[in-house]
Amino acid sequence: MSVKLPIYLDHAATTPCDPRVVEAMLPYFTEIFGNPGSRNHQFGWRAEEGVDAARRQVADLIGADHKEIIFTSGATEANNIAIRGAANMYAKSGPGTTGRGHIITSTIEHKAVLDPCKRLQKEGFDVTFIEPPKDGIVTRAMIEGAMRPDTILVSIMWANNEMGTINEVPQIGALCHEKGVLFHTDATQWVGKMPTDVEKDNIDLLSFSGHKIYGPKGVGVLYVRRRKPRVRLQALVDGGGQERGFRSGTLNVTGIVGLGKACEIARAEMDKDGERLLALRKQLEQAITSQLDVVQINGHAEKRLPHMTNISFGFVEGESLMMATKEIAMSSGSACTSASLEPSYVLKGIGVGDDLAHSSLRISLGRWTTSEDVEYAAQAIVRAVKKLRELSPLYDMHQEGIDISKIEWQAH
Ligand SMILES: *Cc1c(COP(=O)(O)O)cnc(C)c1O
C-alpha cells in the first residue's frame, strides 16, 4: 500500500495551507507590501485593494455584507472581542438593577469562549453554562429555558471542536431575535465546511479562523451585524481605529489575502469535499467498530460534521494508544488540553465517564486525506488497541464476564 507516513488526521487542530492560498499571498510580502492605512500613495491603495477583495470573499462565504467583516488575529481574539465587547457595551446599570446582566453559554464551548465568560462572571455578570445531554447537542429549548428578562447575550458554538456535534444554531438565533437578545456563535469548526448564512440563521456575531480552513495561522474573522440590529461593541484594544474601531492595529495584509482565498476555495468546494469526507469517515468508523468491541462513538450519531469523529476505546488509555500509533497524528482530548492529563472537559460535560473520556481519540480528516490513509490508520489503531488490551487485566476480567463497575476497589 502506498501511503506517505506520517499521516495527518488532526485537521480540527489546524490544516495545512492550500497551495492556491500561498500563491495568492506571495506578492503581498514583497511587491504589494504597503500599509492599507496609507491613504495617500499607490502602495497603500494596492494593499487596501487586496484587503477589500478578501473582505468580499469572506462575506460571500457567510452571506454577510463586506462592511460587516472585522479581521482579527484568529478565532480566540474574535471570541473575546464579541463576548467581552458586547457584555461591556450592553451591561445594565443605574438604579434598580442588581447584576450587570445575564449571559448564556454552554459547558462544551472552546476555552476561548469559556474563559472570557468566566472573566465576565468575576466582573459582576451572571453566566449560565448550559450542560448538554449525552448526545452533545445544545438545543433551542435549552436556551429558552435559561432565558431571563436581563439576558443580554447568548454565545453557543456552531459545531463542537472535539466531537464535531452540531448545535441548533439557526433555531437559537431565531429565539434570540424574538427576544431581542444578541447572539454570538463560535463557528470556527463550521464555517468553510458547511453552508452558512448569517441572515437566514439569525446571527449577530460570528467568529472563525483562517488556519482551520486551509488558510494561514494568525488571522481570523469576527462578523458584526450592521442592521436589524446594529451591534455595538466596546473595543478591547485601542489605537489607530482600524476595522471600524473594533480592532486597532495595522492589518495583517498577507494573512487576510490568504484567508480570503481560503474562503473562496471553501465556498466552491465544500459540497464536494464534504461528501467525500463523509464517505471516508464512515469507512474509518466501520473498520474500527467492526473489528473491536467496547468502542463508543461520542456525540450524536448524525448531527455532526462529516470529517471528524471522536471514539472511546474501553480498557485503553488514549495517550498510550497515540504512543502506539506514532505514525498517525491524532488528538486525545483536545489539542488545547492535551498538555494536561485531565480527561476532556467536553466529554465529561456530556456525561462520558472518566474511564471512557481518558480513552478517547479525536480523528479529523481533511482535503488531502485519501482512502488509503484511512484504511492504514484504521488497521494501525485496531492493532494497537488489541495489543494494549492484551496487557490489560481489566479487559481480561471484562471478557470473563465480570462487571468491572461493580468491583469495590481498595482505597489507596
Ligand atoms: C481552533 C478553535 C478556536 C481558536 O482559534 P484560533 O484561531 O487558533 O485562535 C476557537 N474555537 C474553536 C471552536 C476552535 O476550534
- pLDDT digits over 292-303, tens only? 999 999 999 999
Entry pTM = 0.95
Same domain, 215 and 335: no
Q: Specify if 408 maps to a domain.
A: no
Residue 19, CA distances (Å) to 25, 33, 51, 91, 258 in order: 10, 20, 19, 45, 10
DSSP state of 6: S
Residue 406 lies in a domain: no
- Nearest Cα residue to atom 3 of ligand 1: 75
Q: Are residues 61 and 198 in the same domain?
A: yes
Does the pLDDT at position 285 exceed 60? yes
Q: How confident is the model at residue 335 (pLDDT cuts 50, 70, 90)?
A: very low
Task: Indicate if the pLDDT at residue 1 is higher than 90.
Answer: no
Residue nearest to atom 9 of ligand 1 (CA): 76
Cα 209 to ligand 1 centroid, rounded to whole Å: 6
User: How much is the pLDDT for 186?
Assistant: 98
Report pLDDT for 214.
98
34 vs 42: CA distance, rounded Å: 8
| SS (HEC) of 80-101 | HHHHHHHHHHHCCCCCCCCCCC
CA of 75 to the centre of ligand 1 (A): 5
In a domain, 68, yes or no: yes
Cell readout for 287 is 473498520
Q: Are 321 and 332 in contact, with CB atoms under 8 Å apart?
A: yes
Instruction: Count the domains in the chain.
Output: 2
Query: Which residue lies with its CA nearest to atom 5 of ligand 1?
Result: 75
Judged by DSSP in three states, 364 sits in strand
Residue owning the nearest CA to atom 14 of ligand 1: 188
Beta bridge partners of 184: 155, 205
Q: Any idea what the CATH number is for the domain that residue 152 is in?
A: 3.40.640.10
Which of 265, 283, 311 delimits the end of a domain? 265
Examine the fold and report which residue of 265, 296, 323 is the final residue of a domain before the chain moves on. Answer: 265
% of the chain beyond a pLDDT of 70 = 96
Asked, as a colleague might, if the bond just before 6 is cis with ω within 30 of 0, I would say: yes
% of the chain at pLDDT higher than 90: 89
List, for residues 140-155, the tens digit of each pLDDT value.
999 999 999 999 999 9
Boundary residue ending a domain (232, 265, 298): 265
Q: Examine the pLDDT at 35 and tell me if it is beyond 90.
A: yes
Instruction: Tell me which of 17, 117, 263, 336 is the catalytic residue.
Output: 336
Q: Which of 81, 188, 252, 305 to mutate to test the pocket of ligand 1 (most atoms within 8 A of CB)?
A: 188
Ligand 1 centroid–CA 71 distance in Å is 15
In this predicted structure, which of 22-36, 240-254, 393-407 has the lowest mean pLDDT?
393-407
Quote the radius of gyration of the chain (alpha carbons, Å).
23
Are 259 and 278 contained in the same domain?
no
Measured CA distances, 134 to 155, 298, 321, 372 (Å): 20, 8, 24, 32
Question: Residue 270: helix, strand or coil by DSSP?
Answer: helix
Residues 169 and 258 placed together within one structural domain of the fold: yes
Q: What is the pLDDT of residue 48?
A: 98
Dist. CA 179 → ligand 1 center (Å): 28
42: domain range? 19-265
Residue 247 shares a structural domain with residue 373: no
> In this structure, are 113 and 241 located in the same domain?
yes
Whether 34 and 154 share a structural domain: yes
Task: For residue 200, tell me if it sits in a domain.
Answer: yes
- Torsion over CA of 332, 337, 342 and 344, rounded to 10 degrees? -60
176 counts as catalytic: no
Ligand 1 atom index nearest CA of 335: 1
Q: Is the pLDDT of residue 98 over 90?
A: no
Residue 147, Cβ neighbours under 10 Å: how many?
A: 17
Distance CA 27, CA 47 (A): 10
Predicted confidence at residue 354, as pLDDT, reads 87
| Domain contains 160 | yes
Going by C-beta distance under 8 Å and a sequence separation of 6 or more, which residues neighbour residue 344?
162, 333, 334, 337, 352, 357, 360
Residues 39 and 102 grouped into a single domain: yes
- What average pLDDT does the structure give for the chain? 94
Whether 189 is in the pocket of ligand 1, judged by its Cβ within 6 Å, is yes
127 near 117, Cβ under 8 Å? yes
Evaluate: CB of 220 within 6 angstroms of ligand 1: yes
* Ligand 1 center from residue 352 Cα (angstroms): 23
Report yes or no on 1 lying in a domain.
Answer: no
In a domain, 410, yes or no: no
pLDDT at 339: 55
Whether 69 shows a pLDDT value over 80: the answer reads yes
State pLDDT tens for residues 339-385.
556 789 999 999 998 889 999 999 999 999 999 999 999 999 999 99
Residue 407 lies in a domain: no
CATH no. for residue 336?
3.90.1150.10
Q: pLDDT value at position 208? A: 98
Given a contact cutoff of 8 angstroms between Cβ atoms, the answer to whether 328 and 341 are in contact is no
